[in-house]
Amino acid sequence: MMRKIVKVVCLGAALAGLLSACSATQKITNSVRTATEQLLISEAAKRSLSKQPELALPIPQGANVKLDITGISADKDFLRGVVAGWLGQHGYAVQEGAENATYRINIVVKALGTELGTTFFGIPPVQGSLIPISLPELALYKAEYQTGYSSFYLDIFELPSNRLIGSTTPFLADAFYNAYTVLFLFTFKRSDLVSPPILHH
């Protein structure tokens, strides 16, 4: 019985060494968000904006506007910049202060971030307690589904009265990046991002 246990342990250690030499994980990052997460959020924000703002905004095209933003997302300042650029591209003049603005647009951020889901069939990582040997994750099939999501709307006020002119319908969009592992070693990815990062190993 003892010989069988030793054989199993030795076989597991050899397999672990082989797999750990070939496996790759995209988990370590030197930034607050990985490059993939940043792209998912920025792409979702960009896709959410209408191609025809005159249909979305109840104010004349070319008006002078001041932008405010409200939301709990740490990325809301980025979204403010995206909306400012979008307005500028379509003829609206974004002002820093309210003195020269005819309207104030408040961006209300409902959600701006990423979601991650995982499907896994195999043996999870094992950390030995009695025997100082650890085994890496052994995935017969693993899928990681990562989605960037953007949801916000605009409240538009007339200046200087601050009278509410109206609210837009929600601006919604998402982007995805999925990573798959099959039979321990074979990996592939699917994404609707234009140029997602490629992990070299």
Domain range list for the chain: 33-191
Query: Is it the case that residue 196 has pLDDT exceeding 70?
Result: yes
The answer to whether the pTM exceeds 0.85 is no
**Adjacent-strand bridge partners of 103:** 65, 158
Structure tokens that stand for 48 in this block: 């959410």
| Contacts of 55 by beta carbon, 8 Å cutoff, 6+ apart | none
Q: Tell me which fold the domain 33-191 belongs to.
A: Rossmann fold (3.40.50)
The per-residue pLDDT for range 148-191, each reduced to its tens digit, is: 999 999 999 999 999 999 999 899 999 999 999 888 788 888 99
The per-residue pLDDT for range 76-116, each reduced to its tens digit, is: 889 999 999 999 988 899 988 888 899 999 999 999 999 99
Structure tokens that stand for 122 in this block: 């195999």
**Rounded to an integer, what distance in angstroms lies between the CA atom of residue 48 and that of residue 146?**
18
